[in-house]
Amino acid sequence: MKVKKVIGSIVVALLITAAMGYTVFALMAFSSVEQQVKCRDLEIQIEAKLPLFTEDELHLMLRDEGLHPIGLSVRDLSTERIERFLGAHPYVKKVRCFHDPNGKVLLELSLRTPHFLVMGNENFYVDDEGRYLPAKPGVMAYVPVVTGRVTKSMLQNDLYELVDYIARHDFWNAQIQQIHVRDDQKIELVPRVGEALILLGTTRDYRVKLDRLFRLYHQAFNVMGWNNYRLLDLQFENQIVAIKNEGAAASRPRS
């Protein structure tokens, strides 16, 4: 009986070894076949609020870099290199690249969203994380525009906070189309509705100033009209100096 048990154990062990060997062989064979599969399709998915680049441009970028997967075997395909290359692009926020067993490559991109446009010594977008994005000809985002004597160094201080506040505020984002930095560093706001230029002055207490103007818009201008004034000066404490179009004496509505 003991001999039979020993023989049975040996047979079981041999069967297990054979099964494991076959499994390893099958995996190696499958892996070898998979490595020979060629990529015949590249599917691109772009998540973006603004088309900073198109699928056609992505195909061209990958070809120019020698990374386009079409025609390559899985063995020669490096999804990691594709991710590193596209991930370094200033427009790209997130990138994921992978392939299925049939050689189909999937490329998923999430693009950054321009928050406002700077047009001064340099032209560039700033996204909602404060990153600078090169402006692209032919692509225009519906965002506030900063013009005049503005530099990147100025955007490291309160100017960024002001523009960011306007861009995120439902009313001001819809109402203000341009923030202009004058030679004397005072700030003017150009509205979309109405003819009155808004002189903010410095960025000091900008929220208080804009809140005061917001109340004037809703309490007075809806009654008096939006086009009766050519300048709204917010530089004075607790009041707004409103200069009429016809050159009449300035009025000083209080907050």
Q: What tens digit of pLDDT does each residue of 54-100 get?
A: 899 999 999 999 998 888 887 777 889 999 999 999 999 999 998 88
What pLDDT shows up at residue 171? Answer: 92
Of the residues 111, 139, 160, the one at which a domain ends: 111
Contact between 187 and 160 under an 8 Å Cβ cutoff? The reply is no
Domain at 92, CATH number: 3.10.20
Q: Write out the residue range of the structural domain in which residue 83 sits.
A: 41-111
Q: Are 124 and 218 in the same domain? A: yes
What's the pTM? 0.70
Q: How many domains does the chain have?
A: 2
Q: Are 64 and 186 in the same domain? A: no
Q: CB neighbours (10 Å) of residue 114? A: 24
Of the residues 88, 111, 134, the one at which a domain ends: 111
Rounded Cα distance between 64 and 74, Å, is 20
Q: Mean pLDDT in the chain?
A: 81
Rounded Cα distance between 62 and 134, Å, is 20
**83 occurs within a structural domain:** yes
What pLDDT shows up at residue 27? Answer: 40
pLDDT in tens, 4-47: 554 555 545 545 554 555 444 334 433 444 456 788 888 999 99
What pLDDT shows up at residue 228? Answer: 77
Residue range 141-159: average pLDDT? 84
Query: Is residue 240 helix, strand or coil?
Result: coil
Q: Are 62 and 182 in the same domain? A: no
**16 occurs within a structural domain:** no
**227 occurs within a structural domain:** yes
